[in-house]
Structure 1
Amino acid sequence: MRIGPCSTALGVLMLAAATPVIAQAQTAAVQFRVPAGPLQTALPLFAAQSGEQILYSTDLVAGRQSPGVNGALRTDQALTALLQGTGLRARRTSANTLVVFDPSARAEATDEAVEIAEVIVTGSLIRGVADGPSPVITVTRDDIDRQGHGTVAQALAALPQNFGGTGNDAAMSNGGDRRGTNSFYASGVNLRGLGSDATLVLVNGRRMAGTGNKGDFADVSTIPTSAVARIDVLLDGASALYGADAVGGVVNIILREDYDGAETRVRYGVTSDGASDEFQIAHTVGGRWSSGSILGTYEYNDRSRLAASERDRANDADLRRFGGADRRRIFSNPGNIVVFDAAAGGYVPTFAIPSGQNGEGLSPSDFIAGQGNLYNHREGLNVLPEQTRHSAYLILNQDLGDRVSVNADVRYGLREFEAVSQGFPTTFTVTAANPYFVSPTGATSHIIAYNFGRDLGNPRIEGRAESLGASIGAKIDLAGSWRLDTYAAYAREHGENSSSNQLNSTFLREALGAIADNPATAYSAPRDGYFNPFADGSNSSPAALAFIGSGWARGVGETTVSSVNALADGSLFTLPAGEAKLAAGVAFRRETFGRCRQPTTSPGATIRPACGRRGIRCR
Structure 2
Amino acid sequence: MPMRHSSTSSGTSFDPTPFAITTPGIPFRRSTVAIAVLCALVAGSAHAQEASAPATATAPGQASAAPPPPPPPPVVAEAVQEVVITGSQIRGVSAAGSKSVVLDRETLVTTGYNNPIDVLKTVPLVQGLGYGDVPSTAQNGSANVQRGSTISLRGLSSSATLVLIDGRRIAPTGNVTTFTEANQLPVSFIERIDVVADGASAIYGSDAIAGVVNYITRKSYQGVEITPRYTHTNGYDQRGASIVAGHTVKQLGGLGRLSIVAAYDYDKRDSMLQGSTPFARQDLTRFGGLDNRIRTNLATSAAPGNIIVAGTGINPVFPSAGSFTYYGIPAGYGGTGLDGSQLLRNQPNLLDASDYNDLIPETERNQGSLNLNLQIDPKTKLYYQGYYNRSENTSLSLAQPNATLTLPASSPYYIPNVPGLAPGAPQAVSFSFLNHVGRVIPDRGHSLAEGYGNTIGLQRDFENKWRAEAVFSATGTKTCANCIPALNGNIHTQALQAALNDGSFNPFSSTPASSDVLGRFLVEGNDRNRVKMQQASLRFDGPLFALPGGMVRAAVGVESLGLEQWRDSIGIRATSDTVGAYGKRRINAVYGELSVPLVGPENSLPLMQRFSLNLAARSQKYSDVGKTSNPKIGFVWGVNGDLAIRGAAGTSFRAPDLTDANTTFFSSVSTQLIANAAGDPAIPLSNAATRQSYVLRLGGSNPELTPEKAKNFSLGADYKPWFVDGLRLGASVYRIKYENQIIGLQTVANSFLASPTNRAVYAPYITPAAQPAGCVAGDRSTYNPIYAQAYGAPSLSMPDESNACRLTALFIARNTNAASTVQDGVDFDFGYEMDTSYGRFNADVNATKILNNKVRVSPLASEREDLDRINVPVSMRGRAALAWTQGQWNAGLAMNYVGSYLNDLPLTIGGVTQPRVEIDAWKTFDLNLAWRSPAKTGAWGGVRFSLNVQNLFDRDPPVVLSTNNNAAYAFDPQNANVLGRVVTVQMTKAF
Q: TM-score, normalised on structure 1?
A: 0.70
Cα deviation, residue 608, structure 1: 5.7
User: Helix, strand or coil for the counterpart of 2:124?
Assistant: coil
- Alignment of 1:467 with 2:451, yes or no, is yes
Q: Give the percent of matched residue pairs that are identical in Structure 1 and Structure 2.
A: 26
> Does the CA-based 8 Å contact 1:530-1:544 persist in structure 2?
no
CA distance in 1, matches of 2:87, 2:193: 13
- Distance in 1 (CA, whole Å) between partners of 2:153 and 2:560 is 27
SS state of the match for residue 124, structure 1? coil
Change (3 A) 1:90 1:155: same
AA of the residue aligned to 1:146:
T
Q: Is the 8 A contact 1:153 1:187 kept in 2?
A: yes
User: Matches of residues 145-224 of structure 1 in structure 2 within 5 Å?
Assistant: 145-168=109-132, 170-172=133-135, 178-214=140-176, 216-224=178-186
- Aligned-partner residue type, residue 581 of structure 2: G
Q: Does 2:4 correspond to 1:18?
A: no
Residue of 346, 358, 375 corresponding to 1:399: 375
SS in 2 for 1:245: coil
Shift of 1:410: 1.2
Q: Deviations over 1:585-618 (max 9, x none)?
A: 1110011111111118999xxx563111101110
Report if aligned partners of 1:279, 1:301 keep a CA contact under 8 Å in 2. yes
Q: Of residues 94, 97, 106 in structure 2, which corresponds to 1:142?
A: 106
Letter of the 2:164 partner, please give it: L
- Report deviation, 1:216: 1.9
In structure 2, what is the Cα distance between the partners aligned to 1:458 and 1:212? 27
The aligned counterpart of 1:276 is 237
Residue 4 of structure 1: aligned partner:
none
Deviation at 1:88, TM superposition (A): 7.5
Give runs of aligned pairs for residues 397-436 of structure 1, distance below 5 A.
Answer: 397-421=373-397, 423-424=399-400, 425-436=402-413
SS in 1 for 2:84: coil
CA–CA separation in structure 2 for the residues paired with 1:540 and 1:249:
57
Partner Cα distance (1:177, 1:143) in 2 = 30
Which AA in structure 2 matches 1:234?
Answer: V
State yes or no: 1:332 paired with 2:299.
yes
Instruction: Indicate the residue corresponding to 1:441 in structure 2.
Output: 421
| Counterpart-to-counterpart distance in 1, 2:436 and 2:137 | 20
Cα distance, 1:289 vs structure 2:
1.8
The 8 Å contact of residues 445 and 481 in structure 2, kept in 1 or not, is answered as yes
In the alignment, is the contact (CA less than 8 A) between 2:407 and 2:413 conserved in 1? no
Match of 1:226 among 188, 191, 194: 188
Give the Cα–Cα distance (whole angstroms) in 2 for the partners of residues 454 and 257 of structure 1.
56
- Note the C-alpha offset of 1:571: 3.1
Structure 1 counterpart SS, 2:159: helix
- 2:226 is paired with a residue of what secondary structure? strand
Gap regions ≥5 residues in structure 2: 1-8, 15-45, 252-256, 313-319, 589-991
Q: Could you tell me which of 463, 471, 483 is aligned with 1:487?
A: 471
1:280-295 → structure 2 map (5 Å cutoff): 280-289=241-250, 291-295=257-261
Displacement after TM superposition at 1:131 (Å)? 3.7
Specify the alignment match of 1:41 in structure 2: none
Once residues 240 and 129 of structure 1 are traced to their aligned partners in structure 2, the CA distance between those partners, rounded to angstroms, is 15
Residues 328, 345 of structure 2: 8 Å contact kept: no
Contact 1:462 1:498 in 2 (8 A): yes
Residue identity in the other structure for 1:351: F
For residues 207 and 91 of structure 1, what CA distance do their matches in structure 2 show?
50
CA-CA distance at 1:578 after TM superposition? 4.3
Aligned-partner Cα distance in 1 for 2:311–2:365 = 46
Unaligned ranges ≥5, structure 1:
1-14, 21-52, 62-86, 100-108, 342-346, 518-524, 533-538
CA distance in 2, matches of 1:491, 1:19: 32
Structure 1 pair 140/288, CA: closer, same or farther in 2 (3 Å)?
A: farther
- Structure 2 letter corresponding to 1:213: N
Tell me, yes or no, if the aligned pair for 1:406 and 1:474 is still in contact at 8 Å.
Answer: yes
Equivalent in the alignment of 2:637: none
Contact 1:474–1:487 (CA under 8 A) maintained in structure 2: yes
What's the offset of the Cα at 1:373?
10
Q: CA RMSD in A?
A: 4.3
Task: State yes or no: 1:612 paired with 2:584.
Answer: no
Q: Which of structures 1 and 2 has the bigger CA Rg?
A: 1
The TM-score normalised by the length of structure 2 is 0.45
**Does the aligned pair in 2 maintain the 1:209–1:218 contact within 8 Å?**
yes
Compared with structure 1, are the counterparts of its residues 402 and 383 closer, same or farther at alpha carbon in structure 2 (3 Å cutoff)?
A: same
Q: Which amino acid letter does the alignment assign opposite residue 553 of structure 2? A: K
**Equivalent residue of 2:544, what SS?**
strand
Q: Shift of the alpha carbon at 1:339?
A: 7.6
Relative distance call for 1:350 and 1:312 in structure 2 (3 A) is closer
The 5 Å alignment of 1:306-325 reads: 306-314=272-280, 316-319=281-284, 321-322=286-287
Deviation, 1:156, is 2.4
Select 1:251's aligned residue among 201, 213, 218.
213
Q: How far apart in 2 are the matches of 1:199 and 1:480?
A: 37
Q: Give the partner amino acid of 1:363.
A: G
In the other structure, the counterpart of 2:564 is 592
- Which residue, out of 38, 56, 59, partners 1:89? 59
Deviations 1:279-318 (A, max 9, x none): 223242332426331221222111111222222222x145
Match of 1:46 in 2: none
Residue of structure 1 in register with 2:819 after alignment:
none
Q: Deviations over 1:457-477 (max 9, x none)?
A: 444311322211011111222
Query: By how many angstroms is 1:481 displaced?
Result: 3.8
Note the alpha carbon deviations across 1:224-270, whole angstroms, 9 max, x for none: 32211111122223234333322232211111111122221211222
Q: Is the 8 A contact 1:222 1:414 kept in 2?
A: no
**Alpha-carbon contact 1:144-1:155 (below 8 Å) kept:** yes
Shift of 1:498: 1.8
Looking at structure 1, the residues matched to 290 and 545 of structure 2 have their Cα atoms a distance apart, in angstroms, of 64
Q: Residue 267 of structure 2: which of 257, 279, 301 is its match?
A: 301
Instruction: Name which of 119, 129, 138 aligns with 2:83.
Output: 119
1:520-554 Cα distance to aligned partner (Å, 9 max, x none)? xxxxx2xxx5224xxxxxx4541169834743311
In the TM superposition, residue 367 of structure 1 has moved relative to its aligned partner by: 8.1
Q: Is the 8 A contact 1:337 1:349 kept in 2?
A: no
SS for the counterpart of 2:141 is coil
Alignment of 1:442-591 (within 5 A): 442=422, 444-446=425-427, 456-459=437-440, 460-498=444-482, 500=486, 501-502=488-489, 503-512=491-500, 514=501, 516=502, 525=504, 530-532=506-508, 539-543=509-513, 547-548=517-518, 550-575=522-547, 577-591=549-563
Amino acid aligned to 2:512: P
| Conservation of the 8 A alpha-carbon contact between 2:567 and 2:580 | yes
Indicate if the aligned counterparts of 1:351 and 1:368 stay in contact, CA closer than 8 A: no
- Is the contact made by 2:397 and 2:445 (CA closer than 8 Å) also made in structure 1? yes
d(CA) in 1 for partners of 2:473 and 2:562? 11
Residue identity in the other structure for 1:589:
L
User: Larger deviation: 477-486 or 258-267?
Assistant: 477-486
Q: What is the deviation of 1:219? A: 1.9
Residue type of the partner of 2:583? R
| Deviation by residue 1:376-396 (Cα, 9 ceiling, x = unmatched) | 554422122111122111121
Question: For residues 340 and 191 of structure 1, do their structure 2 counterparts lie closer, same or farther at Cα, with a shift above 3 Å needed?
Answer: farther
Alpha-carbon distance in 1 for matches of 2:469, 2:572: 51
Go from structure 1 to structure 2 and tell me whether the alpha carbon gap of 1:267 and 1:542 turns closer, same or farther (over 3 Å shift).
Answer: same
| Residues 116 and 241 of structure 1, relative CA distance in 2, 3 Å threshold | closer
Q: In structure 2, do the counterparts of structure 1 residues 132 and 274 end up closer, same or farther at CA, with 3 Å as the change threshold?
A: same
Aligned to 1:357: 330
Separation (CA, whole Å) in 2 of partners of 1:250 and 1:453: 47
CA distance in 2, matches of 1:550, 1:570: 64
- Tell me, in whole angstroms, the C-alpha distance in 2 between the residues paired with 1:128 and 1:325: 58
- 1:32 is matched with none
Residues 450 and 540 of structure 1, relative CA distance in 2, 3 Å threshold: closer
Structure 2 CA distance for partners of 1:297 and 1:545, relative to 1, 3 Å: same
Counterparts of 2:291 and 2:138 in 1: how far apart (Å)? 15
